[in-house]
Structure 1
Amino acid sequence: MVYVDDIIVTGNDNVLLSLMLESLATRFSVKDHEPLSYFLGIEATRTAAGLHLNQRKYTLDLLARTNILNAKPVQTPMATSPKLTLLSGSKLSDPKEYRSVVGSLQYLGFTRPDISYAVNRLSQYMHAPTTAHWQAVKRLLRYLCGTFTHGIFLRRHNSLSLHAYSDADWAGDSDDYVSTNAYVVYLGHNPISWSSKKQRGVARSSTEAEYRSVANTTSELIWVCSLLQELGIRLPQAPTVYCDNMGATYLCANPVFHSRMKHIALDYHFIRDQVQSGVVRVVHVNTKDQLADALTKPLSRPTFTLLTNKIGVTPSPSILRGCIKHQSRINHHQ
């Protein structure tokens, strides 16, 4: 027995779609079908070019609840310095609000890969948040003040090439020196999956940290391939993982197992088998073109803005149209 209170039914055949909804309506209480516009806090704006997904209302409700709605916006979700640590600031007397807000921010990550690192970082202090951690939360909320219409745009005409950017910030945590790995998976031009998480153990070198990140990314790609196969979608070529570490890239392609890498034998053999069987390719990419870098560490404003645009985080098309009309009226008046 399955209970579902919210579900999306979609397809390319309108006749078959109508028949399915009519069949469901004979046994269950089903609302009249209509074009997708709002689902579980996610707003869908359809244009001729594609579909834009954002959580504008959810974000505004969160900002209003925290009294940050009218605060001055900032350009990045997290400051590059000073680095947050477990001992930064003084312990909060009541951590309830901190935990509530950070929990809400985690749900916002469904359409906002640009805040993935900041939310991941702030979630690590849930057990003992301090005043410094709370100030970092407020900064993230101020960033959302200026970007509450931002989300992911899924282009209508898109290729079926599957690729991912994999990156790691070696020993980036000042408390335990555990690295943060991240990936962004694309189907053509559209970002469909992303993650920013701490690794399970301390990496002894940047190559090891990057290699572990590639293993994590490869696992996600295999899952996406399995999902696409179930949907009857065939990929024209094997997925590609882009890594900006030469050592990790070489290790993926080199069949020789180095004694210095025995402690990561599981990851090594997992990736080697996938590469040799043609399931996935690992390719080196310049650090400047590493899109996952925005999900591993705080960045300066120019770098963060550039990578966010490349990742595919954009304002709602309706907002853009309004800005264009407003600007054209100003130009006409001048």
Structure 2
Amino acid sequence: MDIPPGLTVPNTGMVCKLNKSLYGLKQASRQWYEKLTEALNTRGYTHSLHDYSLFYRKRGTSIVFLGVYVDDILLTGTDIDEITELKKFLHHQFKIKDLGRLHYFLELEILYKDDGILISQRKFVLDLLKEFSCDHSTPLSSPLDPNVKLRANEGKALNDPTQYRKLVGKLNFLTNTRLDLAYSVQLLSQYMQDPREPHLRAAFHMLRYLKKDPTLGVFMSSSADFRVSAYCDSDWAACPDSRKSVTGYIVLLGDSPISWKSKKQETISLSSAEVKYRSLRKVVGELVWLQRLFEELTLLSLGPFHVHCDSQAAIHIAKNPVFHERTKHIEVDYHFVRTKLQEGLITLHHIGTTAQLADILTKALTGIKHCTLLDKLAMSILPPT
């Protein structure tokens, strides 16, 4: 390593010995996490085996949780006295700043209502529109134009791809609360290496969509409805370049969305039945993880989880182990859907295409259908101040 500027040493062959981890060093985050874990362990806290950013302590009716992101910490639980003592302990160990009740955390804005909370990224959206000079643009009703099909090598290459990569990176951060952007962002992220002018136009199309409802966010209901339901869908051979399909799923706790994903599949599917079955595989894997996490959060007896799919063939494959003609080319690991069905973790239900909520995560929709699905997914806007 080089000697820091301003430090004079008599011998140029000397090196620096690291006594304390500093910001900017590669090992800093790991050292900080180990230090925090060690401190919390001395007070009886354990980190979750299913999410290492979560710590908890359970003693009788006293339950306290810590959500950690680097050096930002959220505290919640049923024991106010323990939370107060924990704050004092952390302040003694690390000199923390208590910001009171949660209102703003990592660009997430929390609005408390009588029937729940609304999580949005309003300020981040407004700053993004201003940064890319779209704050006075005409708003649009859908994230992407359903009539435009993007391809990898179509259109003129951008002279400076930095703007496109920066914009898509910030749009990706918005998918933390904007599930309506998940499909569009995963599509535009595929062209980061060699972006073209049509890709940039599509990205600015998304900005004009954000202009329509910059305060849109996820509503988390405070009702005691702990029923877990999931919707999965896919678009067969959606990618015009690789002919790979797109999978999308959404998991609801009551009426509140808690997990969602839109992703292009790793392999090419040979039939629409196969691609639907692969989407089942993805959402069931997520439900297995959620079940274990719920157990740590003391939410027991939530199963069986209801999984909704609009493909009768995929449901038959999961239920019928002798469906050879449609399954002999599907990898063995995907048949764990059948195992979880037999164990009682999930139940499979067929729904019509018009009732498929995950449709918003697999393809570009018209403005009317896009808005209809948002209304069903507990996406809300902030009330005027």
TM-score range relative to shorter protein:
over 0.9
CA distance in 2, matches of 1:266, 1:11: 42
Say if 2:108 is the partner of 1:42: yes
AA aligned to 2:248 is A
Greater relative contact order (Cα 8 A, min sep 6): structure 1 or 2?
Answer: 1
- The alpha-carbon deviation at position 267 of structure 1 amounts to 4.1
CA contact (8 A) 2:318 2:335 kept: no
Matches within 5 A, 1:128-167: 128-167=194-233
Aligned 8 A contact 1:120 1:196 in 2: yes
Shift of 1:301: 1.2
Tell me if the contact between 1:164 and 1:240 (Cα under 8 Å) persists in the aligned partners: yes
Query: Secondary structure in 2 aligned to 1:241?
Result: strand
Tell me what 1:253 maps to: 319
Q: Are the counterparts in 2 of residues 171 and 178 from structure 1 also a CA contact under 8 Å?
A: yes
* Residue 250 of structure 1, CA deviation: 1.4
Moved more, 10-19 or 40-49: 10-19
> 1-side partners of 2:108 and 2:334: how far apart?
39
SS of structure 2 residue aligned to 1:111: coil
Q: Matched residue of 1:299: which SS?
A: coil
Measure how far apart 1:2 and its partner are. 3.2
2:250 paired with 1:184: yes
Residue aligned with 1:264, SS: coil
Q: Deviation per CA, 1:79-101, whole angstroms, max 9, x where unpaired?
A: 01121111332111111100010
Question: Does 2:189 match 1:123?
Answer: yes
After superposition, the C-alpha distances for 1:98-152 in whole angstroms (9 at most, x for unaligned) are 0010011111100000011110110011111111110000000000011110000
Shift of 1:251: 1.2
Preserved CA contact (<8 Å) 1:43 1:55: yes
* 1:11-35: CA deviation from partner (whole Å, max 9, x where unpaired): 1332232222222222221212411
Please tell me whether residue 275 in structure 1 is matched to residue 305 in structure 2: no
The reply on whether 1:2 has 2:32 as its aligned counterpart is yes
Q: How far 1:75 sits from its partner (Å)?
A: 0.5
- Alignment partner of 1:198 is 2:257: no
Structure with the greater alpha carbon radius of gyration: 2
Structure 2 CA distance for aligned equivalents of residues 267 and 81 of structure 1: 36
Q: C-alpha distance in 2, partners of 1:38/1:58?
A: 11
Residue matched to 2:3: none
Q: Which residue of 1 aligns with 2:98?
A: 32
Residue identity in the other structure for 1:86 = A
Q: TM-score, normalised by structure 1?
A: 0.92
One-letter amino acid matched to 2:152: L
- Of 271, 275, 287 in structure 2, the residue corresponding to residue 209 of structure 1 is 275
TM-fit CA distance, 1:268: 4.1
1:268–1:21 CA distance, 2 compared to 1 (3 A): same
Tell me how far apart the structure 2 counterparts of residues 65 and 11 of structure 1 sit (CA, whole Å): 39
Who is 1:325 aligned against? none
Matched, 1:82 2:171: no
- Residue number among 212, 215, 219 corresponding to 2:285 in the alignment: 219
1:297 aligns with 2:363: yes
Provide the secondary structure at the position in 1 that maps to 2:313.
helix
Q: Which amino acid aligns with 1:6?
A: D
In structure 1, what is the Cα distance between the partners aligned to 2:211 and 2:102? Answer: 26
Q: Is the Cα contact below 8 Å between 1:76 and 1:304 reproduced in 2?
A: yes
Q: Distance in 2 between matches of 1:29 and 1:45?
A: 28
Deviation larger for 19-28 or 189-198: 19-28
Match of 1:56 among 109, 122, 147: 122
Structure that is richer in helix per residue: 1
Aligned to 1:329: none
Residue pair 1:252, 1:268 contacting (<8 A) in 2 also: no
- 1:257 deviation in Å? 4.2
Whole-Å Cα distance in 2 between the matches of residues 33 and 102 of structure 1? 31
TM-score (norm 2): 0.80
Residues 142-169 of structure 1: CA deviation (Å, up to 9, x unaligned): 0001111000010111311111100000
For 1:93 and 1:274, the matched residues in 2 are separated by: 51
Q: Structure 2: how far apart are the matches of 1:282 and 1:274?
A: 11
Number of paired residues? 319
Structure 1 residue runs of 5 or longer lacking an equivalent are 323-334
Counterpart of 2:87 in structure 1 is: 21
The reply on whether 1:169 has 2:199 as its aligned counterpart is no
Q: What is the CA–CA distance in structure 1 between the aligned matches of 2:302 and 2:101, rounded to whole Å?
A: 31
**Equivalent residues of 1:158, 1:189 under 8 A apart:** no
Aligned-pair identity (%): 39
Runs of 4+ aligned structure 1 residues displaced above 4 Å come to none
Query: Unaligned stretches of 5+ in structure 2?
Result: 1-30, 34-69
Further displaced range: 299-308 or 3-12: 3-12
Return the alpha-carbon distance in structure 1 between the equivalents of residues 333 and 310 of structure 2.
18
Q: CA deviation at 1:236?
A: 3.5
CA RMSD of aligned residues (A): 1.3
Contact 2:312–2:350 at 8 Å: present in 1 too?
yes
